[in-house]
Amino acid sequence: DGGITQSPKYLFRKEGQNVTLSCEQNLNHDAMYWYRQDPGQGLRLIYYSQIVNDFQKGDIAEGYSVSREKKESFPLTVTSAQKNPTAFYLCASSKWTSGRAGEQYFGPGTRLTVT
Protein backbone atom coordinates (compact mmCIF):
# COMPACT_ATOMS: atom_id res chain seq x y z
CA ASP A 1 0.00 0.00 0.00
CA GLY A 2 1.79 3.10 -1.27
CA GLY A 3 1.73 6.46 0.43
CA ILE A 4 3.34 8.91 2.79
CA THR A 5 3.52 8.40 6.51
CA GLN A 6 4.20 11.00 9.13
CA SER A 7 4.77 10.35 12.76
CA PRO A 8 3.71 11.08 15.32
CA LYS A 9 0.25 12.52 14.70
CA TYR A 10 0.43 14.70 17.81
CA LEU A 11 3.60 15.96 19.43
CA PHE A 12 4.06 18.04 22.56
CA ARG A 13 7.31 19.72 23.52
CA LYS A 14 8.58 22.26 25.96
CA GLU A 15 9.94 25.53 24.69
CA GLY A 16 13.67 25.40 24.06
CA GLN A 17 13.74 21.78 22.92
CA ASN A 18 14.51 20.61 19.40
CA VAL A 19 12.06 18.12 17.92
CA THR A 20 12.23 15.97 14.78
CA LEU A 21 9.19 15.11 12.68
CA SER A 22 9.34 11.99 10.59
CA CYS A 23 8.26 11.68 6.94
CA GLU A 24 8.57 8.50 4.87
CA GLN A 25 7.25 7.71 1.37
CA ASN A 26 7.20 4.50 -0.64
CA LEU A 27 5.94 6.07 -3.85
CA ASN A 28 9.43 6.27 -5.37
CA HIS A 29 9.01 10.02 -5.78
CA ASP A 30 12.08 12.18 -6.26
CA ALA A 31 10.75 15.42 -4.79
CA MET A 32 9.72 15.87 -1.17
CA TYR A 33 8.39 18.93 0.66
CA TRP A 34 7.64 20.24 4.12
CA TYR A 35 4.82 22.73 4.67
CA ARG A 36 3.46 24.46 7.69
CA GLN A 37 -0.26 25.25 8.02
CA ASP A 38 -1.65 27.79 10.47
CA PRO A 39 -5.31 28.76 10.91
CA GLY A 40 -6.42 31.23 8.25
CA GLN A 41 -3.22 30.84 6.25
CA GLY A 42 -2.35 28.77 3.25
CA LEU A 43 0.30 26.11 3.28
CA ARG A 44 3.72 27.72 3.54
CA LEU A 45 6.79 25.99 2.20
CA ILE A 46 9.56 25.32 4.71
CA TYR A 47 12.02 23.16 2.77
CA TYR A 48 12.00 20.99 -0.32
CA SER A 49 14.27 18.41 -1.86
CA GLN A 50 14.47 17.27 -5.47
CA ILE A 51 17.06 14.54 -5.02
CA VAL A 52 18.92 12.71 -2.31
CA ASN A 53 21.54 14.73 -0.46
CA ASP A 54 20.18 18.00 -1.83
CA PHE A 55 17.57 20.37 -0.41
CA GLN A 56 16.60 24.04 -0.65
CA LYS A 57 15.02 26.54 1.68
CA GLY A 58 11.45 27.57 1.13
CA ASP A 59 9.75 30.75 2.29
CA ILE A 60 9.97 30.15 6.04
CA ALA A 61 13.08 28.03 6.61
CA GLU A 62 14.39 29.98 9.61
CA GLY A 63 14.43 27.83 12.72
CA TYR A 64 14.07 24.57 10.78
CA SER A 65 16.51 22.03 9.37
CA VAL A 66 16.15 18.95 7.16
CA SER A 67 18.16 16.08 5.75
CA ARG A 68 17.66 13.82 2.73
CA GLU A 69 19.98 10.86 3.16
CA LYS A 70 17.55 8.41 1.57
CA LYS A 71 15.04 8.86 -1.23
CA GLU A 72 12.25 7.60 1.01
CA SER A 73 12.90 9.82 4.01
CA PHE A 74 12.84 13.58 4.63
CA PRO A 75 12.83 14.37 8.37
CA LEU A 76 12.24 17.90 9.62
CA THR A 77 13.81 19.26 12.79
CA VAL A 78 12.11 22.16 14.51
CA THR A 79 14.83 23.89 16.49
CA SER A 80 14.55 26.11 19.53
CA ALA A 81 15.30 29.05 17.23
CA GLN A 82 11.85 28.79 15.63
CA LYS A 83 9.85 31.51 17.34
CA ASN A 84 6.34 30.13 16.80
CA PRO A 85 6.68 26.39 16.30
CA THR A 86 3.14 25.41 17.27
CA ALA A 87 1.45 24.45 13.99
CA PHE A 88 0.22 21.65 11.74
CA TYR A 89 3.12 20.26 9.69
CA LEU A 90 2.54 18.53 6.38
CA CYS A 91 4.99 16.49 4.35
CA ALA A 92 4.41 15.87 0.65
CA SER A 93 6.07 14.19 -2.30
CA SER A 94 5.68 14.36 -6.05
CA LYS A 95 6.96 12.82 -9.24
CA TRP A 96 9.41 14.69 -11.38
CA THR A 97 8.44 14.64 -15.06
CA SER A 98 9.88 16.75 -17.89
CA GLY A 99 11.48 19.15 -15.48
CA ARG A 100 8.36 19.80 -13.45
CA ALA A 101 6.84 18.44 -10.29
CA GLY A 102 3.42 16.90 -10.65
CA GLU A 103 0.57 16.55 -8.22
CA GLN A 104 1.53 16.45 -4.59
CA TYR A 105 0.80 13.52 -2.33
CA PHE A 106 0.45 14.59 1.29
CA GLY A 107 0.95 12.74 4.52
CA PRO A 108 -1.60 12.86 7.35
CA GLY A 109 0.28 15.66 9.12
CA THR A 110 1.81 16.15 12.55
CA ARG A 111 0.29 18.64 14.96
CA LEU A 112 3.07 20.10 17.07
CA THR A 113 2.31 21.98 20.26
CA VAL A 114 5.11 23.77 22.09
CA THR A 115 4.45 25.22 25.53
Partner 1 sequence: SQKIEQNSEALNIQEGKTATLTCNYTNYSPAYLQWYRQDPGRGPVFLLLIRENEKEKRKERLKVTFDTTLKQSLFHITASQPADSATYLCALDRVNTGNQFYFGTGTSLTVIP
- Read out DSSP for 10-45? EEEE-TT--EEEEEEE-S--SEEEEEEE-TTS--EE
Binding flag, residue 41, partner 1 (CB under 8 A):
yes
Regarding 104 and contact with partner 1 (CB under 8 A), the answer is: yes
Q: Which of residues 66-95 bind partner 1 (CB under 8 A)?
A: 88, 90, 92, 94
User: What's the closest the beta carbon of residue 16 comes to partner 1, in angstroms?
Assistant: 27
Amino acid at position 86, single letter: T
Q: Is 58 exposed, middle or buried (0-12, 13-18, 19+ CB in 10 A)?
A: middle
Contact pick of 22, 50, 79, 86 for partner 1 (by CB under 8 A): 50
Exactly one of 14, 15, 53, 100 binds partner 1 (CB under 8 A); which one?
100
Q: Which stretch binds partner 1 (CB under 8 A): 14-22, 63-71, 78-86, 99-107?
A: 99-107
15 CB neighbour count, 10 Å cutoff = 9
Separation CA 84–CA 15 (nearest Å): 10
What residues make contact with partner 1 under the rule CB under 8 A?
A: 4, 31, 35, 40-45, 48, 50, 58, 88, 90, 92, 94, 96, 99-109, 111
